[in-house]
Amino acid sequence: MDEDRPVLTQITENVLVRQSDFCRTNTVIVRGDAGVLLIDPGIHGYELAALADELIEHGDTVTVGFSTHPHWDHLLWHARLGSATRYGTARCAATAQAKLDVGREMATQTAQDVSLDLFGAIVALAPGTEYIPWDGPRVRIVEHQAHAPGHAALLIEDDRVLVAGDMVSDVLIPMLDLRGGHHPVQDYLDGLRRLEDVASHADLVMPGHGSVGSGDELRGRIEQDRAYVVALQAGDDPVDARVGPGATYGRDWLPAVHARQVRDLAARMAADPRIGFGEQHRNI
């Protein structure tokens, strides 16, 4: 089984990554002075256990965890990773708590041999917290409401790595928060703007799902995501290579997600045209 085991890959001085067998989910580890920060631990039980093994081999202990957003695939944990505080933004923690049963059910359907006892136990950071409270490199919190409530990208400042959460993927299209969000389109565009604001501080981007990218690729992916969302906003069916005939990933399921999103947003905008726009347009 060892040969199947994903390995940690060091991408900068303090940052290591590994990818899950599920949906190219990325886990990021930041080395600190007394231990590591573990961001979005992974999916399957055997992966989380292997991660714990690797950390032990390296002499690392997890001193703090972080979930980028309150979707099930970012809320898992394993007892062998220890009892570190697992942070999220206040909205992330509140949403994870409110949707604990739904998240557990989704995890049960997909994640293999995983204990759900520790699922979703996220501690809220005070609203407006700028940096992860820990003994290690400065990690800036870039919160927005795209894709999920309280979604946070993390900028590891000295290493110039942006951990983007579930945006700016090379393989997944933007997925709007069509269930919970009041302004899912504008929230997404605002989120992209937040990433754009910090993009000049990043030489590498690590999306929640997909491949690591350069700073230039980050800027290109922001534009690609924005073009997709702007087309949705205009009521068009976006043309996007990630769900086009040349797509290299998710050909058996992603086009259906895309089609459902186009249809659901069109229906919501037909019922309430303000859905496609932000607060500032509410009264027109």
**Only segment of 7-15, 165-173, 178-186, 268-276 that touches Zn ion (CB under 5 A):** 165-173
**Only segment of 55-63, 120-128, 134-142, 162-170 that touches Zn ion (CB under 5 A):** 162-170
Residues binding Zn ion: number (CB under 5 A): 3
Residues 195-224 as x/- pattern, contact with Zn ion by CB under 5 A: -------------x----------------
Q: Which residues contact 162 (CB under 8 A, 6 or more apart)?
A: 153, 154, 155, 156, 195, 198, 199, 201, 202, 204, 205, 206, 218
Nearest CB to Zn ion, comparing residues 24 and 183? 24
Nearest CB to Zn ion, comparing residues 166 and 170? 166
Nearest CB to Zn ion, comparing residues 134 and 188? 188
Nearest CB to Zn ion, comparing residues 14 and 224? 224
According to DSSP, the residues that pair with 10 across neighbouring strands are: 16
Shortest gap between Cβ of 198 and Zn ion (angstroms)? 20
Is 120 a residue that touches Zn ion (CB under 5 A)? no
Shortest gap between Cβ of 281 and Zn ion (angstroms)? 29
Q: According to CB under 5 A, which one of 47, 60, 73, 143 is a site residue for Zn ion?
A: 73
Is 166 a residue that touches Zn ion (CB under 5 A)? yes
Task: Please work out, in degrees rounded to the nearest 5, the angle formed at the alpha carbon of residue 35 by the alpha carbons of 30 and 40.
Answer: 45
Strand-strand pairing, 161-165 and 204-207: parallel
**Only segment of 1-9, 71-79, 152-160, 198-206 that touches Zn ion (CB under 5 A):** 71-79
Nearest CB to Zn ion, comparing residues 68 and 233? 68
Cα gap 284→273, rounded to integer Å = 10
Nearest CB to Zn ion, comparing residues 24 and 31? 24
**Only segment of 160-168, 170-178, 231-239, 273-281 that touches Zn ion (CB under 5 A):** 160-168
Cα gap 211→209, rounded to integer Å = 7
Nearest CB to Zn ion, comparing residues 137 and 208? 208
Q: Which residues bind to Zn ion, rule: CB under 5 A?
A: 73, 166, 208
